[in-house]
Amino acid sequence: GAVVSQHPSRVICKSGTSVKIECRSLDFQATTMFWYRQFPKQSLMLMATSNEGSKATYEQGVEKDKFLINHASLTLSTLTVTSAHPEDSSFYICSARSRGVTDTQYFGPGTRLTVL
């Protein structure tokens, strides 16, 4: 199946710093990428939908100035958590949908963010 990578897989940072997470589709072009957040023992929550070459669409309650999304190419989307706080500690997962046919989304392996 299609492969999506995320980098880094794990990051620990101090409160107030910014963290960038990359999501890449390795063997297909992703017109749309999605960013999710998952807290322990909870479901994945969609944060934003990112379309290549246009601004991301954020879900209600997600601050667009805090979670900056850039989808500059058909294979790369980045999520930057700005001025991170301990409550931003979570598992961040991206997914990518290939151009054309199916509704199937392929997930990256996730990034575990810990803010001290």
Partner 1 sequence: RKEVEQDPGPFNVPEGATVAFNCTYSNSASQSFFWYRQDCRKEPKLLMSVYSSGNEDGRFTAQLNRASQYISLLIRDSKLSDSATYLCVVNRNSSASKIIFGSGTRLSIRP
Interface ranges with partner 1 (CB under 8 A): 1, 32, 34, 36, 42-46, 49, 91, 93, 97, 103-110, 112
Q: Which amino acid is at 92?
A: Y
What minimum distance in Å lies between the beta carbon of 16 and partner 1?
Answer: 26
Write the burial class of residue 92 (CB in 10 Å: 0-12 exposed, 13-18 middle, 19+ buried).
buried
What minimum distance in Å lies between the beta carbon of 12 and partner 1?
Answer: 15
How far apart, in whole angstroms, are the C-alpha atoms of residue 6 and residue 29?
Answer: 15
User: 64 or 83, CB closer to partner 1?
Assistant: 64
Question: Residue 93: which of 81, 107, 104 has the closest Cα?
Answer: 107
What minimum distance in Å lies between the beta carbon of 46 and partner 1?
Answer: 7
